[in-house]
Amino acid sequence: MINHKLQIVNNKGIKLQAYLELPANQKPNYFAVFAHCFTCSSTLNAVKNISRSLTNHGFGVLRFDFTGLGRSEGEFADSHFSANVDDLLAVNKFLNDHYKAPSLLIGHSLGGAAVLVAASKLDTIKAVATIGAPATIDHVKHLFSHDIDRIKDKGKVQVNIGGRPFQIDEEFVSDFDKTDLPSIVKHLRKPLLILHSPIDTIVGINNAEQLYHNAHHPKSFVSLDNADHLLSKTQDSQYVGNVIAAWADRYFEPVQNIMLDTDGEQLVAHLNLKENNFTTNIQTAKHSFIADEPASIGGDDFGPSPYDFLSAGLAACTVMTLKLYAERKQWDLQEVFVYITYSKKHSDDLMLDVEKPSRIDFLLKKLVFVGDLDDAQKQRLKTIASKCPVHKTLQTQTIIETEIIDI
């Protein structure tokens, strides 16, 4: 995943902090915009996890901070609901001018309400997903309802929302009454995915029911069982991202991956050193995948390591070879598991008689067979496991020639 830090100027001249995340080493098929929850920011872990899940499915995702929040300019009092919608329209214009108009809007909590309104104003939006969104805009007023009388008297007061101090004024409060969200949802007529937790204590599950009731098909609902409003558990936000990506596939035309050309070879790997750390895109004639290094050695851990792929090749070849052999013998091999661990071991520890003792590459292969097999059959399968083509390749002398191609 590639992360670009951006500043987007809205229609009031306020600079919005934004991050554009792209699939590793490839152009996105489509763009999405993520609107964060009320008083949150684009750096919330849930926002980042959902964005990353979408980039893994080929989306470019722009997440940003609303006016007066996170690292965007402006005052929180200027971040009333209408301003949130205007910020979304500014972000849409930026993507349209510099990249490609977004076609998917995703909003969390009040951000969900904002993307519904923005989607009603943008013809390029093909689908909308909301997470824990309220069914009416004025729902959020309960967070500071006890201060509304003070606001009328003093004009501008400091309130406590979620344990944090914010300064708001009467315009901030009254703006929540200007938008008829139920009517907008009824007339939206775009694919809508509503995700909501049944135990959400901030925005109750009845809001999801009302949104779903008001919306026209195609509409979908997914229950986020046991998740809290902020999706504080990593597995919850990752699940949300994967669900949105899978759901969106139905409403977006598949785009052929033309990012890399193997130029007649079996495989090509590409690493853009200016944009990535170790994240490498790999392409065969029909398949693409990502390699990386773990965080422990300075990588971003966006994909398996090179040695993981080496072990994967050995494991995959082993199970396929065992399948073919067992089928030919008509043995009752129903499932097979192959566990591979790569390490370096000293020749002395392996009790090898070599001229110059040293540390050598060591692959440990463990087999698990499922089926009605006797000990003799299992031992024979163990022998066959050592005869798979990749196993043989790793144990024989291999010649590698390296050439330079001028481009």
Query: What pLDDT, on a 0 to 100 scale, did the predictor assign at position 25?
Result: 45
Query: What pLDDT, on a 0 to 100 scale, did the predictor assign at position 238?
Result: 92
Query: What pLDDT, on a 0 to 100 scale, did the predictor assign at position 161?
Result: 56
Q: Average model confidence (pLDDT) for the chain?
A: 89
SS (H, E, C) 19-63: EEEECCCCCCCEEEEEECCCCCCCCCHHHHHHHHHHHCCCEEEEE
Q: Would you list the domain boundaries of the chain? A: 2-251, 306-395
Query: What pLDDT, on a 0 to 100 scale, did the predictor assign at position 56?
Result: 82
Q: Are 371 and 333 in contact (CB under 8 A)?
A: yes
Containing 159, the helix (H) or strand (E) segment is: strand 156-161
Q: Are 40 and 110 in contact (CB under 8 A)?
A: no
Superfamily of segment(s) 2-251: Alpha/Beta hydrolase fold, catalytic domain (3.40.50.1820)
Query: What pLDDT, on a 0 to 100 scale, did the predictor assign at position 316?
Result: 96
Distance CA 347, CA 339 (A): 22
Query: What pLDDT, on a 0 to 100 scale, did the predictor assign at position 152?
Result: 67
Per-residue pLDDT of 354-367, as tens digits, reads 888 899 899 999 99
Query: What pLDDT, on a 0 to 100 scale, did the predictor assign at position 144?
Result: 61
Contact residues for 119 (Cβ-Cβ < 8 A; gap 6+): 105, 125, 128, 188, 190
Does domain 306-395 fall under CATH 3.30.300.20? My reply is yes
3-class secondary-structure state, position 281: strand
Q: Are 247 and 129 in contact (CB under 8 A)?
A: yes
Contact residues for 58 (Cβ-Cβ < 8 A; gap 6+): 23, 26, 28, 29, 30, 255
The neighbouring-strand residues paired with 336 are 369
Per-residue pLDDT of 223-269, as tens digits, reads 999 999 999 999 999 999 999 999 998 999 876 645 577 888 899 89
Query: What pLDDT, on a 0 to 100 scale, did the predictor assign at position 325?
Result: 97
Q: Could you tell me the pTM of the whole model?
A: 0.67
Give the angle subtended at the CA of 43 by the CAs of 42 and 47, to the nearest 5°.
Answer: 65
* Among 102, 117, 104, 112, residue whose Cα is nearest residue 140: 112
Backbone torsion region of residue 298, taken as left when φ is above 0, otherwise alpha when ψ lies between -120 and 50, otherwise beta? left
Query: What pLDDT, on a 0 to 100 scale, did the predictor assign at position 253?
Result: 84
Whether omega before 191 lies within 30 degrees of 0, making that bond cis, reads no
- DSSP β-ladder status, 192-196 and 127-131: parallel
Query: What pLDDT, on a 0 to 100 scale, did the predictor assign at position 296?
Result: 92
* Neighbour tally for 188: CB within 10 Å: 19
pLDDT tens for the chain, 407 residues long, are 556 899 999 999 999 999 999 875 457 889 999 999 988 999 899 999 999 889 888 899 999 999 999 999 998 888 889 999 999 999 999 999 999 999 999 999 999 999 999 999 999 999 999 999 999 987 776 666 566 666 666 666 666 655 566 677 677 777 778 899 999 999 999 999 999 999 999 999 999 999 999 999 999 999 999 999 999 999 999 999 999 999 998 999 876 645 577 888 899 898 888 767 898 888 888 787 889 999 899 888 878 999 999 999 999 999 999 999 999 999 999 999 999 999 999 988 888 888 888 998 999 999 999 999 999 999 999 999 999 999 999 999 899 999 998 87
